[in-house]
């Protein structure tokens, strides 16, 4: 089963394919990219490319065996290698993310939250415990966690980033509006909410 | 002064340029794309293109008059045409966005929140009032607001979208994981937080 880097746009369509295939009756049937494209009202070329990115088992003019394609889609979406993340910063945004149930669609879950505010630690938020920040390293090592989400204010973001790196985290999703300095092996994905709104504003101003 | 559609990536760099220019001493001096690129450690071709997108006043081999470039950057960032948005859904995520102060960087602000939960309406959250949802239309018309942010659960998102369209909103930033059906003149920007995390997860799994 191959697993290569696929684009964010392709990744976003995989749950659609999976949902469609799961809803169809017989998993021992064959299914073509053409049929999927038609059913989902997507471009055929796009669907063909997407499926080829996640599964090498398509046969020309015949298509894919449904149950194999389902397995490959699940694999690409990380269902077999279930991943957990931790969140640092149990404020409004952190809590909103803890509460959000859309992550499971991609085989992801937020396992726990951390905060240095003692009025927050020890609490249980939507079934997730808030731990003191100094337990981050131990927790990540015990649970083999490599993804961290930063939802602390700008001023604390870099020190949280350092603590995450110390804890063995190699992928950081950063909501604080600050550019983090990290070791080379750490991937930072910056979430810029202000920029998203600004872009939308620009689109309507230019209509 | 021209104002054309610029890409999200360019838009994201404009605050950097503005900050750099404002920090430099004499606004009556000239400044070149080369000098800005060097100071900010960005690619020269990129900076040249970005500046050309926001200002038509650059002169070959001479550059831009600092104060004119500052003015054009401010214009592109919407500083002169200050825009307000409303948020519907005063839950965790909605409150987190109300509290977030990064929007002002782009000349944007969230003016008010709306909710249909009577235990939330009438409250003041970070200086912003939470109004009952049925006052949305009047509020948007009185304050000439055309941007709406949806932070309600999936099941209510479409009806909130309809209420926003009725209220004259033409740009919607949707955090609910559901595809909205709208009139043709309404722009919807979908914020898919689960997809962002899934993409990050895929990047580290393929390292």
Long-range contacts formed by B131-136: CB under 8 A, 24+ apart: B133/B88, B133/B160, B133/B163, B136/B86, B136/B88, B136/B163, B136/B164, B136/B167
Q: How far apart are CA A123 and CA A63, in angstroms?
A: 51
Per-residue DSSP letter, B6: -
Q: What is the mean pLDDT of residues A46-70?
A: 90
The proportion of chain A whose per-residue pLDDT surpasses 70, expressed as a percent, equals 95
What digits encode the pLDDT tens for the residues B18-61? 888 888 778 889 999 999 999 999 999 999 999 999 998 888 88
In chain B, how long is the greatest CA-to-CA distance? Answer: 62
B128 touches chain A (CB under 8 A): no
Taking an 8 Å cut-off on Cβ atoms, the answer to whether B194 and A11 are in contact is no
Lowest mean pLDDT among A7-16, A88-97, A145-154, B150-159: A7-16
Q: What pLDDT does A1 receive?
A: 41
Q: What pLDDT does A9 receive?
A: 84
Q: What pLDDT does A206 receive?
A: 64
Q: Where are the alpha helices (DSSP H) in chain B?
A: 8-23, 33-40, 44-54, 66-76, 92-99, 136-143, 154-166, 193-205
B181 touches chain A (CB under 8 A): no
Q: How far apart are CA B81 and CA B83, in angstroms?
A: 6
Q: What pLDDT does B107 receive?
A: 80
HEC letters along A116-168: CCCCCCCCEECCEEEEEHHHHHHHHHHHCCCEEEECCCHHHHHHHHHHHHHCC
Comparing CA positions, the residue from B188, B47, B65, B143 lying closest to residue A200 is B188
B1 touches chain A (CB under 8 A): no
Q: What is the mean pLDDT of residues A64-89?
A: 86
Q: What pLDDT does A74 receive?
A: 84
Per-residue DSSP letter, B123: -
- Torsion sign across C-alpha atoms B89, B90, B95, B101: positive
Lowest mean pLDDT among A193-207, B9-23, B179-193: A193-207
Taking an 8 Å cut-off on Cβ atoms, the answer to whether B83 and A12 are in contact is no
Q: Do the beta carbons of residue B160 and residue B86 sit within 8 Å?
A: no
Taking an 8 Å cut-off on Cβ atoms, the answer to whether B8 and A195 are in contact is yes
Taking an 8 Å cut-off on Cβ atoms, the answer to whether B81 and A198 are in contact is no
The minimal CB distance from A194 to the residues B81, B92, B105 is found for B105
Q: What is the mean pLDDT of residues B156-177?
A: 95
Residue B3 has pLDDT above 70, yes or no: no
Q: How far apart are CA A25 and CA A67, in angstroms?
A: 11
Q: What is the mean pLDDT of residues A35-62?
A: 90
Q: Which residues of A touch B207 (CB under 8 A)?
A: 170, 185, 187
A187 touches chain B (CB under 8 A): yes
**B79: closest chain A residue by CA:** A198
Tell whether ipTM is more than 0.85: no
Q: What pLDDT does A2 receive?
A: 44
- Looking at the complex, report in whole angstroms how far the Cα of residue B135 sits from the nearest Cα belonging to chain A: 23
Per-residue DSSP letter, A180: P
A9 touches chain B (CB under 8 A): no
Per-residue DSSP letter, B181: P
Q: Which residues of A touch B171 (CB under 8 A)?
A: 200-201, 203-204
**A8: closest chain B residue by CA:** B199
Q: How far apart are CA A88 and CA A113, in angstroms?
A: 6
Q: What pLDDT does B180 receive?
A: 94
The minimal CB distance from B5 to the residues A95, A177, A206 is found for A206
Taking an 8 Å cut-off on Cβ atoms, the answer to whether B106 and A197 are in contact is yes
What digits encode the pLDDT tens for the residues A80-134? 667 899 999 999 899 989 988 788 878 889 999 999 999 999 999 888 999 999 9
In which band, very low, low, confident or very high, does the pLDDT at A201 lie, cut at 50, 70 and 90? confident
In which band, very low, low, confident or very high, does the pLDDT at B117 lie, cut at 50, 70 and 90? very high
Residue B2 has pLDDT above 50, yes or no: no
Most confident of A22-26, B180-184, B192-196: B180-184
What digits encode the pLDDT tens for the residues B59-87? 888 899 999 999 898 888 876 667 899 99
What digits encode the pLDDT tens for the residues B123-134? 998 889 999 999
In chain A, how long is the greatest CA-to-CA distance? Answer: 62
- Describe the crossing of helices B66-76 and B44-54 by its angle, rounded to 10 degrees: 70
B12 touches chain A (CB under 8 A): yes
**pLDDT higher for A5 or B169?**
B169
Q: Do the beta carbons of residue A127 and residue A99 sit within 8 Å?
A: no
Q: Do the beta carbons of residue B138 and residue B166 sit within 8 Å?
A: no
Q: Which residues of B touch A95 (CB under 8 A)?
A: 92, 96
Q: What is the mean pLDDT of residues A151-168?
A: 96
Secondary structure element (H or E) that encloses residue A72, with its range: helix A66-76
B173 touches chain A (CB under 8 A): yes
φ/ψ region of B78 (left if φ > 0, alpha if ψ in -120 to 50, else beta) reads left
The minimal CB distance from A5 to the residues B93, B171, B206 is found for B206
Q: Is B153 helix (H, G, I), strand (E, B) or coil?
A: coil
**B75: closest chain A residue by CA:** A202
Taking an 8 Å cut-off on Cβ atoms, the answer to whether B200 and A187 are in contact is yes
Residues within 8 A of A (CB atoms), B 15-74 only: none
Q: Do the beta carbons of residue B132 and residue B112 sit within 8 Å?
A: no
B102 touches chain A (CB under 8 A): yes
């Amino acid at each position: 089963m191959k697993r290569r880097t696929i684009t964010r746009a392709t990744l976003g369509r995989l749950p659609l394919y999976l949902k469609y295939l799961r809803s169809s009756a017989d998993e021992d049937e064959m299914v073509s990219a053409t049929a999927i494209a038609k059913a989902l009202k997507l471009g055929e070329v796009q669907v063909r490319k997407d499926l080829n990115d996640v599964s090498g088992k398509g046969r020309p003019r015949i298509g894919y065996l449904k149950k194999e394609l389902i397995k490959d889609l699940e694999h690409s979406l990380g269902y077999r290698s279930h991943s957990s993340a931790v969140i640092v910063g149990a404020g409004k945004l952190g809590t909103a993310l803890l509460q959000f149930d859309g992550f499971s669609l991609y085989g992801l879950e937020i396992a726990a939250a951390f905060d240095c505010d003692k009025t927050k630690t020890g609490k249980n938020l939507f079934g997730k415990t808030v731990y003191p920040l100094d337990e981050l390293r131990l927790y990540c090592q015990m649970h083999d966690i490599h993804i961290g989400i930063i939802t602390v204010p700008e001023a604390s973001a870099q020190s949280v980033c350092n603590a995450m790196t110390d804890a063995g985290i190699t992928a950081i999703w950063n909501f604080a509006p600050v550019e983090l300095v990290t070791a080379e092996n750490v991937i930072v994905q910056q979430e810029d909410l202000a920029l998203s709104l600004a872009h939308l504003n620009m689109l309507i101003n230019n209509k």
